């Protein structure tokens, strides 16, 4: 069990945070059941256990500590046997719906789920993955943990079929797939309780916050200056993994992730670059070094460090040095694409990603992560003039 193996100091901090956030539940609800927003649960977990927050990456886990991935869930305890969402397959909905028989649909769902887990493990160098769940009941938070199993695609059994959903199992877990939302749910059977956190809910939480507000504002180190917040917003950009000019959001056949297929000279099968649209340089002029001659450190999600630089005329691409290092990791290890096969939109959709997030940690040091479908377009619509 992850929770019980963490230092007592961290567990105590986690319990204290759960008590505190639960105590102000009446800001949101009059229910005797503590309110815990899922984003708050993610932040509390990561702060308490010094874990990396992956919740914005839309992968199969929400946090990572060393080589362990954690899916974080909070939900009403109810009867202790509820179905909870574990994955969305919006971009792959046509593939599921186009499967002819119910058996084929379930097989496709299982394969897509297992591929997402594989990609998450590869991206972040994970050895193990599990769920940490906080269930909420009258006056308490209960803590449970469950293994994050692959779906046994060779042992699928269909239980119930309706126009809206399919209920199936693999002999280990029970799952439900909702057609209209393209979401996969798993039944969490809460039998093995790890810990219980009693929550005292304030009658008027605003009074509590008001009484302590002067103490908070007097301690300036608790307040993030606006200048820092503004600089932080300029230290993150999103790049498309497809051709920015493509109306279908497809990777180009002879550039970008398919640079290896370009004509003019012999190229290594792992030769790639990630496109950098021209407007990025105009909007964020100091994000990248001033020319292609400057190299910098690029940290992958699994912690491996690559040497990288901008490339092409107008610094229109991001590549590694040597070029094949980024391609080998992205094309072969993550996307699992065979050599000499063009990267397509289908490959990106199956992986659930189509954008790269770059964070500038310091001069000459950057982090890269991969983001869910549509992330670059939302970023562009927000920042491009």
Helix residue ranges, H only, the chain = 2-5, 8-23, 38-49, 93-97, 102-124, 205-218, 226-233, 278-283, 324-327, 345-351, 375-383
The mean per-residue pLDDT over the stretch 118-139 comes to: 97
Q: Is 0.85 surpassed by the pTM of this model?
A: yes
What is the arithmetic mean of pLDDT over 278-298? Answer: 95
Closest CA to 372 of 53, 67, 88: 88
Q: Does the structural domain 228-383 have CATH classification 2.40.330.10?
A: yes
- Residue 222 pLDDT > 80, yes or no? no
pLDDT of residue 316: 96
Spatial distance between the Cα atoms of 226 and 228, rounded to a whole number of angstroms: 5
pLDDT at 1 over 90: no
pLDDT averaged over every residue in the chain: 93
Tens digits of residue pLDDT in 80-92: 999 999 999 998 9
Band of pLDDT at residue 56, cut at 50, 70 and 90: confident
Tell me what the mean pLDDT of segment 319-332 comes to: 95
Name the more confident of 58 and 104.
Answer: 104
Residue pair 248/346 in contact by the 8 Å Cβ criterion: no
The answer to whether the beta carbons of residues 61 and 71 sit under 8 Å apart is yes
Q: pLDDT higher for 131 or 224?
A: 131
Distance CA 332, CA 217 (A): 51
Residue spans of the domains in the chain: they are 2-215, 228-383
Segment 279-302 shows an average pLDDT of 95
Structure confidence at residue 211 (pLDDT): 79
- pLDDT for position 264: 86
For residue 166, the surrounding DSSP H or E stretch is strand 165-169
Q: Report the pLDDT value the prediction gives residue 223, as an integer from 0 to 100.
A: 63
Reply yes or no on whether the pLDDT at 353 is more than 80: yes
Q: Mean pLDDT throughout 328-357? A: 94
Span of 17-21, 96-100, 222-226, 253-257 with lowest mean pLDDT = 222-226
């Amino acid at each position: 069990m992850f929770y019980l193996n963490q230092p007592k100091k961290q567990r105590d901090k986690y319990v204290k945070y759960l008590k505190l956030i639960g105590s102000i539940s009446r800001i949101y609800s009059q229910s005797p059941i503590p309110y815990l927003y899922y984003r708050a649960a993610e932040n509390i977990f990561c702060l308490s256990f010094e874990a990396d927050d992956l919740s914005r990456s839309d992968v199969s886990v929400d946090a990572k500590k060393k080589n362990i991935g954690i899916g974080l869930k909070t939900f009403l305890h109810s009867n202790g046997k509820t179905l909870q969402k574990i994955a969305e397959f919006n971009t792959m909905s046509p593939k599921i719906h186009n499967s002819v028989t119910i058996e084929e649909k379930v097989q496709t769902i299982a394969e897509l789920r297992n591929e997402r887990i594989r990609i998450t493990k590869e991206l972040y160098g994970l050895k193990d993955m599990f769920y940490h769940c906080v269930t909420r009941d009258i006056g308490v938070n209960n803590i449970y943990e469950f293994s994050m199993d692959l779906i046994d695609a060779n042992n699928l059994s269909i239980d119930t079929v309706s126009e809206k959903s399919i209920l199936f199992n693999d002999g280990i877990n029970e799952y439900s797939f909702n057609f209209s939302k393209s979401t996969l749910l798993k039944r969490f059977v809460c039998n093995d309780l790890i810990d219980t956190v009693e929550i005292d809910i304030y009658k008027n939480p605003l009074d509590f916050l008001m009484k302590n507000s002067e103490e908070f504002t007097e301690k300036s180190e608790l307040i993030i200056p606006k200048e820092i917040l503004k600089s932080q917003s300029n230290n993150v950009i999103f790049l498309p993994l497809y051709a920015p000019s493509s109306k279908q959001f497809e990777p180009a056949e002879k550039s970008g992730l398919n640079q290896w297929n370009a004509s003019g000279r012999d190229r290594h099968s792992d030769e790639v670059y990630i496109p950098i649209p021209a407007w990025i340089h105009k909007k964020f002029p100091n994000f990248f070094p001033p020319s292609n001659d400057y190299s910098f450190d690029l940290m992958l999600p699994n912690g491996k460090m690559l040497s990288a630089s901008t490339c092409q005329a107008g610094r229109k691409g991001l590549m590694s040095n040597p070029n094949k290092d980024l391609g080998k990791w992205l094309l072969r290890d993550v996307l699992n694409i065979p050599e000499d096969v063009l990267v397509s939109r289908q490959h990106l959709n199956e992986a659930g990603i189509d954008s790269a997030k770059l964070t500038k940690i310091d001069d000459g040091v950057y982090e890269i992560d991969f983001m869910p479908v549509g992330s670059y377009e939302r970023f562009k619509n927000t920042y491009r003039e």
